[in-house]
Amino acid sequence: MRIGLEVHVALPLKSKLFCSCSSSAEEPNTAICPICMGFPGSKPMLNERALGIAKSIAAALNCRLNDFISFVRKVYFYPDLPKSYQITQIGGAVGTGGYVQTASGRVGIVRVQIEEDPARIIRGDDYTLLDFNRSGIGLVEIVTEPDMTDEGGMKEFIIELKSILYYLGVDIDQEFKVDLNVSTSGDRVETKNVTGMANIVNALRYEIKRQGVMASKGQRIGMETRSYDEAGMKTVQSREKETEEEYGFIYEPDLGEYDMRKVETETAVYASRIAHEYAKRYDYSESTLRELIMFNREALALIDGAKGGHRMQNIVNAVELLIKYRKTGINGRDFESMLGLVENGAAVRKETIEKIERGEGISGYSAVSEDEVNKEIADIIRSNARLLEDYKRDRKVLNFVIGRVAKKHNADPRYVSEQLRKVLRDVFKVE
Amino acid sequence: MNSIEEFNSLEKKESYYPRLVEELKRANGEFHAFNLINEGIRAGFPFSAKDNICVRGFEATCSSKILKGYVPNFSATAVSRLGSAFGFLGKTNMDEFGFGTFGINSEEPARNPFNSDYVTGGSSSGAAAATALMKYHVALAVSTGGSISSPASFCGVVGYTPTYGLVSRYGLIDYGNSLDRIGIIARSAGDVRHTCGLLRGTDRYDSTCVDHNVASDGKKTLFVINQLNEVLDERIRAPFESLLGKLENLGYVVKRVDLDIIGKAVGIYYIISSAEASTNLARYTGFKYGYQYGRFTEYYNDFFSNARAEFGIEAKRRIILGTFVRSASVRGKYYDKALRARRLLIDRMKGLLKDGYIISPTMPIKTPKIREVRELTPLQSYATDALTVPPNLCGFPHISFPFDYIDGMPIGAQIITDHFNDDAIIGFVEEWERHFKYRFKHNLGAL
């Protein structure tokens, strides 16, 4: 069996792709203008912020990046499409020929492209409504090779992709929409517009079963386009279907070419790879780490900052406490204090964390002489010449010093942290 | 002094504009230059806009039934840029969506002010007719494949098509986006110079509009392309040869050259323009604006198909042709190939234009009667675009100007220069006008 996906996700943009209308209006048909309504005389003007995000995604998915990109018109008649064509990309896409690495193998990426969303269709019993707020919202479409071979592999791919997108700032709470291609016999069957993981899995299971039954009866499956019936949890034959022949792609003459060479990208974060690496390095459970960091920037940052000076189990416990109490935005120093308590086996309640954040003293620490602490801090720094160099680039490098000294003397990490700053300033002349 | 400065310097009575409107309405009964006359005009130098250019609050129909009732809530950038020194006089007649060479693809075709039995040319038919009717007026017109030059030539006025990208297309209802240009039809090159200065400049609402210096690099060599000369009607060839003689007397050097590929221009043009047009016209489904067929309870396919039945015959022909040439199975053979051929033609013509201007008559035939062009097959009609299509396909600036009168009807010549050298050919026509006086039969609004 071969499974391929065309994934659509909304780009994190405040305004639409080709006009300045808001991309987040709620009252239907309030964020509309001549451009996104396709009124005669209007022209698209590209929101160039889309280029950086799309290029970052393409780079994260290991694509070849095109130096110049262009757009095409894909023509079809449907009431949600104001111009009766969608502005999208094919040949001049942002990236082509990439891949996503998952535990069960590589999934090839055919291309990453930018396109506009049509209007939202709301169907009632005997009426249909259209909300053009969605018309013209910027999407990125990610087209995969049919490289997935079973449900597990598909799920792995989707989670991996979502995590990569999450770390690039693409809102994954907005459920993403896929066109699901399933071929059990050689004939490709496409199920369009399936939204959310549960529906995607159900659509896949239904198709496998349906195609299996047909094959067992000796019937030819045939290439076709289907749609997903969410209530019935099944795929149904589409009444309308367009073919590549009918789309009649032409180059979008209102936009021209865009030079991508100077467009800056954000560095990708592969949380699954980090979980794997830390699990090995700190001899810890990979699945627990994955669960913590795949979709949690803050957890990853806290673990990264504390990983040298503490046992992974304690760090994970502390992060889990924060998640449990829904505490966000804690800084590295307060997190050190918290870790100190966790390591001492003290009970950390929500109030305890709030106290730490307010800078109030926490009982249970021993008093330690300033000279002794300062000498110890200075010794650790002197013992590793590179530390100071690294510190200039990344302030988190010295967090482990706080942890180590605080632990040894059962001192308040907040106090140790202040001393560290003094030592850096007075002894090493570093601010 | 151009007529805009002259107009502004003259004393005008309060009744000037209402009287102009009255005279114009009367003349329009015969010549059908206007689809809409703005009776509210009270100030400024009168300008008209072709009916595919949006003017906020005024119906924009492109002379098509399918756009009846479409009143844009925004103005084209070109219209806004004219500013308050200009007064909006009305929307001019045209071939439906710009599809036509003679102005007859309109419910009520515009008629030539020199003789109403004759065509005005097209597709900016009303723009040229209005200019020939009024003493003080400029027209915002639009060219895709020659729609400014053709009517300017047949109506005996000056038609300027700027370098592609120099004037914003925002607010222009698209025909072929990679070809469409807003330009000016006026009674003199001086009026063109005055007006076009206001229109130029980059616009965030049109990505293809650029901020580029306009040069005035005057040339002394005039290239006559043999392959274009061959298609001329004998009655055009002779006066054109005498024009070349006059220009030689003014110090120009005429060089006759071959440019084989130019014979393919009309074919390339109809493939690209129809492909683009067929996508642009896809939005007319009678759904949110314009002509609505039946009620929303119909199946969507029936609903939009019935509305689209209202397109005129030429619009339907272009939609079918354009949809065909971009279909996946033949796209490589037609659309993609035409794009490559267009690049080749641009390179070849650019090679000539660095050393001189290209000059030819604007149209290969004498002004025909309306009755006569109704008999032409589409291919015969398209063939008359042979001289105007090349500079349009390649984005080169060009001007059609009157140079002779035969049997009482004006004939025009077309001068072409390299990209962004627009002001040089405006200067060329200004020089010509110092040696040749244009004739007009009507002078509505004279002071």
Q: What is the pLDDT of residue B109?
A: 98
pLDDT per residue over A371-428, tens digit each?
888 888 888 888 887 888 888 888 777 888 888 888 787 777 878 888 888 888 888 8
- Per the structure block, which two tokens stand in for B113? 């002010």
Per-residue pLDDT reduced to its tens digit, B189-233: 999 999 999 999 999 999 999 999 999 999 999 999 999 999 999
Let me know if residue A70 belongs to a domain: yes
For residues B243-262, give the mean pLDDT: 97
Which of A190-204, B298-312, B411-425 has the highest mean predicted lDDT (pLDDT)?
B411-425
What is the nearest CA distance from A246 to chain B, expressed in angstroms?
Answer: 6
Q: Name which CATH class applies to B3-218+362-433.
A: alpha beta
Q: Which residue has the higher pLDDT, A387 or A131?
A: A131
Asked whether residue A276 is domain-assigned, the answer is no
Give me the percent of chain B exceeding a pLDDT of 70. Answer: 100
Cα of first residue to Cα of last residue in chain A, in angstroms, is: 60
Report chain A's mean pLDDT, rounded to a whole number: 90
- E strand or H helix at B400, and its extent? strand B398-406
Decide if pLDDT at A83 tops 70.
Answer: yes
- The tens digit of pLDDT for each residue in B268-308 reads 999 999 999 999 999 999 988 888 887 888 888 888 999 99
What are the structure tokens assigned to A301, written together? 């940052």
Query: B50, B63, B168, B188: which one is catalytic?
Result: B50
| Averaged pLDDT for residues B101-124 | 97
- B436 within 8 A of B430, measured Cβ to Cβ: no
**Quick check: is A47 in a domain?**
yes
Query: In this complex, which of B207, B301, B335 lies closest to A46 when CB atoms are compared?
Result: B207
Sequence-separated (6 or more) residues with CB below 8 Å from residue A412: A337, A340, A361, A362, A365, A406
Residue B125 has pLDDT above 70, yes or no: yes
Which of A245, A250, A256 is nearest residue B276 as measured by Cβ atoms?
Answer: A250
Supply the pLDDT for residue B100. 97
CA distance B295 to chain A (A): 13
Does the CB of A247 have a partner CB in chain B at under 8 Å? Answer: yes
Place A358 in a pLDDT band, splitting at 50, 70 and 90: confident
Is B50 annotated as catalytic?
yes
- Answer yes or no: is pLDDT of A361 > 70: no
B-chain CB neighbours of A255 within 8 Å are: 207-208
pLDDT for the residue numbered B288: 87
Instruction: State the residue range of the domain holding A16.
Output: 2-174+239-259
Mutate to test the interface with B, among A19, A84, A257 (most CBs of B within 10 A): A84
Contact B335 A250 (CB under 8 A): yes
Interior/surface letters B303-315, b for 16+ CB within 10 angstroms, e for the rest:
bbebbbebbbebb
Residue of B nearest to A79 (CA): B300
Residue at A402 is within a domain: no
Q: Taking every pair of C-alpha atoms in chain A, what is the biggest distance, in angstroms?
A: 86
Residue pLDDT, tens place only, B57-104: 999 999 999 999 999 999 999 999 999 999 999 999 999 999 999 999
Beta-carbon separation of B70 and A45 below 8 A: no
Using a 10 angstrom Cβ sphere, with 0-12 exposed, 13-18 middle and 19 or more buried, the burial of residue A338 is: buried
- A221-230, A343-352, B142-151: least confident range: A343-352
- B198 CB within 8 Å of a chain A CB: no
**Residue pairs between chains A and B whose CB atoms are closer than 8 Å:** 104
Average pLDDT over residues B19-43: 97
A90 at the B interface (CB within 8 A)? no
pLDDT surpassing 90 at residue B154 = yes
pTM of the model: 0.89
Instruction: Say if residue B384's pLDDT is above 90.
Output: yes
| Touching A: B residues 16-55, CB under 8 Å | 53-54
DSSP assignments along B61-112, one per residue: -TT-GGGTT---SS--HHHHHH-TTEEEEEEE--SGGG--SSS-SSSS----
Flag if B339 and A77 touch (Cβ within 8 Å). no
Compare all CA atoms of chain A with the CA of B205 and give the residue at the minimum distance.
A45
Q: Using alpha carbons only, what angle is made at residue A25 by residues A20 and A28, rounded to the nearest 5 degrees?
A: 115
User: Cβ separation of A82 and B283 shorter than 8 Å?
Assistant: yes
| pLDDT computed for residue B104 by the predictor | 97
- pLDDT level of residue A363 (50, 70, 90 thresholds): low
User: Contact B282/B326 with Cβ under 8 angstroms?
Assistant: no
pLDDT of A244 reads: 64
Longest dimension (CA), chain B: 71
Q: What is the predicted pLDDT for the residue at B382?
A: 95
Pairing of β B357-361 and β B409-416: antiparallel
pLDDT of A135 reads 97
pLDDT at A239 over 70: no
Return the minimum-mean-pLDDT range out of A262-271, A365-374, A393-402.
A365-374
> DSSP code of B445?
T
> Would the CB atoms of B275 and A250 count as touching at under 8 Å?
yes
Q: Quick one: pLDDT at residue A383?
A: 85
Q: What is the ipTM of this complex?
A: 0.94
To test the contact with chain B by mutation, choose from A125, A239, A242, A251 the residue with the greatest count of B C-beta atoms within 10 A, namely: A251
Residue A156 CA to residue A247 CA, distance in Å, equals: 33
pLDDT at A370: 77
Distance to chain B for A182, nearest Cα, Å? 24
A78 falls within a domain:
yes
pLDDT average, residue stretch A188-197? 92
Interchain contact, B177 vs A82, CB within 8 Å: no
Question: What pLDDT score does A333 carry?
Answer: 84
| Contact (Cβ atoms closer than 8 angstroms) between residue B165 and residue B212 | yes
B15 is catalytic: no
**Residue B304 neighbours by CB under 8 Å, 6+ apart:** A77, B285, B286, B287
**Chain A contact for B210, CB < 8 A?**
no
pLDDT at A367: 64
- Residue A114 inside a domain? The answer is yes
Strands B45-50 and B138-143: parallel
Min mean pLDDT across A122-136, B41-55, B76-90 is at: A122-136
Closest CA to A263 of A11, A87, A65: A65
Give the pLDDT score at B155: 98
pLDDT at residue A240 in the model = 60
* Active-site entry in B64, B123, B149, B274: B123
The answer for B 280-339 residues in CB contact with A (under 8 A) is: 282-283, 285, 287-289, 300-301, 304, 323, 326-329, 331, 335, 339
Position A351 in a domain: no
A336-356 pLDDT tens trace: 888 888 887 777 888 888 888
How much is the average pLDDT of B173-188? Answer: 98
Q: Dihedral (C-alpha) B69, B207, A255, B196: value to the nearest 10 degrees?
A: 70
Q: Is B70 on the interface with A (CB under 8 A)?
A: yes
The alpha-carbon gap from B105 to the nearest alpha carbon of chain A, in Å, equals: 20
Domain boundaries, chain B: 3-218+362-433, 265-339
Which stretch of DSSP H or E encloses residue B35?
strand B34-37
Look up residue A215 and give its two tokens. Answer: 């094959």
Phi, psi (rounded to 5 degrees) for A387: -55, -45
Q: What is the pLDDT of residue A28?
A: 96
**Res A350: pLDDT:** 85
Rounded to 10 deg, the angle between the A399-409 and A297-306 helix axes is 60
What residue in A sits closest to B173 (Cα-Cα)?
A: A41
Q: Which of A170, A253, A187 lies closest to A224 in space, CA to CA?
A: A187
Q: CB pairs under 8 A, 24+ apart, for B381-386? A: B381/B100, B381/B101, B381/B102, B382/B101, B382/B266, B382/B270, B383/B231, B383/B266, B384/B101, B385/B101, B385/B145, B385/B146, B385/B150, B385/B266, B385/B269, B386/B228, B386/B231, B386/B265, B386/B266
Which pair of structure tokens corresponds to residue B445? 């609004």
Q: Which helix (H) or strand (E) holds B358?
A: strand B357-361
The number of domains in chain A is 1
Which of residues 30 through 59 in chain A touch B, CB cutoff 8 A?
34, 37-46
- Closest chain A residue by Cα to residue B327: A248
3-class SS letters over chain A: CEEEEEEEEECCCCECCCCCCECCCCCCCCCCCCCCCCCCCCCCCCCCHHHHHHHHHHHHCCCEECCEECCEEEECCCCCCCCCEEEECCCCCCEEEEEEEECCEEEEEEEEEEEECCCEEEECCCCEEEECCCCCCEEEEEEECCCECCHHHHHHHHHHHHHHHHHCCCCCCCCCEEEEEEECCCCCEEEEEEECHHHHHHHHHHHHHHHHHHHHCCCCCCCEEEEEECCCCEEEECCCCCCHHHHCCEECCCCCCEECCCCCCCCCCCHHHHHHHHHHHCCCCHHHHHHHHCCCHHHHHHHHHHCCCCCHHHHHHHHHHHHHCCCCCCCHHHHHHHHHHHHCCCCCCHHHHHHHHHCCCCCCCCCCCHHHHHHHHHHHHHHCCHHHHHHHHCHHHHHHHHHHHHHHHCCCHHHHHHHHHHHHHHCCCCC
pLDDT of residue A14: 96
Residues of A with Cβ-Cβ distance to B73 under 8 angstroms: 34
Give whole-number Cα distances, A331 to A346, A361, B365, in Å: 20, 17, 82
pLDDT in the model for residue A340: 83
